[in-house]
Amino acid sequence: MMNDLKRISCILYRSGTSKGAYFLDNDLPKDKEERHNLILKIMGSPDIRQIDGIGGATTVTTKVAIISVSKREGIDLEYKFIQPSIDEAIADDKPTCGNILTAVGAFGIERGLVSVEDGETIVNVYDVNTGATITQVIQTPNRTVQYHGDFEIAGVPGTASPIKMFFKNISGGKTGDYLPTGNTYDIFDGIKATCLDISMPVVFVKAKDMGLTGYETPNELDAKKELFEKIELIREQASQKMGLGSAKGNVIPKFAIISEAKNNGDINIRYFTPTTAHPALAVSAGFCVAAGSFIKGTILHEINSKEFELGEHIVKIETPSGTIDVGVNFPTTDIKDVEGKTTRTARLLMAGEVFV
């Protein structure tokens, strides 16, 4: 091919319930501003259609992972997540994404960054955005990444090969404390809220306090302009008290509306990106929900009163796309030592070069 465009190696993955572009760190500019501008150009932002890029025109299908070989002891890969805005010239590198994380190990194998074993390959990942460490178990029969399988996750049609993930160091990654305000609940704009930082800073409120049932569809929620105005008021106040500064132009803290489960789950949730309602639930936020259910005084514990005990627990979280099982482990009596466990799937969609 002969043209005046710059070409950059890229792999597209459906990863968990998200979709994103995966790049090698060395293939992108080192300067942060230059790198972010390039990512926005690649994705086609700012433009709600993203017609001039490879973005999916929704937050959950417009994501970027940047991968490198790690120099840390016991770690194979370093993962940096970028959330490009769709309609603004913003590339946010503060949050993480557990769904996009799912395909990181597979990407590393495909790119020859880690050695592959016959049967199963274990890949240890460091999340640059949060400081968490994640162990992934990837199916690799005959030393080949297996994408086909019979494991199903809510929010994705069909089945695929399971990728098991075990999370450590997930407490206080952005704020320094799993209770970043120092309280189990606060009042923001007249609404009782619990703020947690376990894998992701999230502000939780009860559906009934927002004038909702909690069982609305994402489309129904997205149509409520006044709701998002209220969410932003609460997010801004919560963000300041969590020590994150202003929420304006940032996707963290995330926002979630919770209510009682009605389909044999433990708790029901509507999660926000935060500019739209998520079709399911972010992996990182799932750990917040699960661990928060064991913390007395939080509004999550009011709805889903789990008794704290050492060891592993499964919390069933109902989402618009179905029920998600999220595992948490308490190795000590201190909540800050909580660990997470989940199983997701990923599929390689395209490998090649993107042009800008």
* Residues 3-13 pLDDT 10s: 999 999 999 99
State which amino acid sits at residue 96: T
Residue 329's pLDDT is 97
List the one residue out of 172, 36, 165, 148 whose CA is nearest residue 104: 165
Three-class DSSP category at 314: strand
Mark 308-344 as b/e (b = at least 16 C-beta within 10 Å).
Answer: eeeeebebbbbbbbbebbbbbbbeeeebeebbbbbeb
Name the CA radius of gyration of the chain, rounded. 20
Residue 14's pLDDT is 98
Q: Check if the beta carbon of residue 104 is closer than 8 Å to that of residue 67.
A: yes
Does 1 score more than 90 pLDDT?
A: no
Average pLDDT across the chain, whole number: 97
Residue 191's pLDDT is 98
Mean pLDDT of all residues in 207-225:
97
Q: Which residues pair with 202 in a beta bridge?
A: 196, 254
Give residue 61's pLDDT band: very low, low, confident or very high (50, 70, 90): very high
Does 46 score more than 90 pLDDT?
A: yes
User: pLDDT, tens digit, for every residue of 93-108?
Assistant: 999 999 999 999 999 9
State which amino acid sits at residue 102: T
Give residue 305's pLDDT band: very low, low, confident or very high (50, 70, 90): confident
Q: Check if the beta carbon of residue 346 is closer than 8 Å to that of residue 102.
A: yes
Mean pLDDT of all residues in 25-29:
98
Residue 149's pLDDT is 98
List the one residue out of 81, 39, 79 whose CA is nearest residue 60: 81
Give residue 249's pLDDT band: very low, low, confident or very high (50, 70, 90): confident
Q: From CA 72, how far away is CA 60, in angstroms rounded?
A: 30
Q: Check if the beta carbon of residue 204 is closer than 8 Å to that of residue 194.
A: yes
User: pLDDT, tens digit, for every residue of 86-140?
Assistant: 999 999 999 999 999 999 999 999 999 999 999 999 999 999 999 999 999 999 9
Domains of the chain, with CATH numbers? 7-170+345-355 (3.10.310.10), 186-336 (3.10.310.10)
Q: From CA 316, how far away is CA 199, in angstroms rounded?
A: 18
Three-class DSSP category at 87: coil
Two structure tokens written together for 292: 């928060």
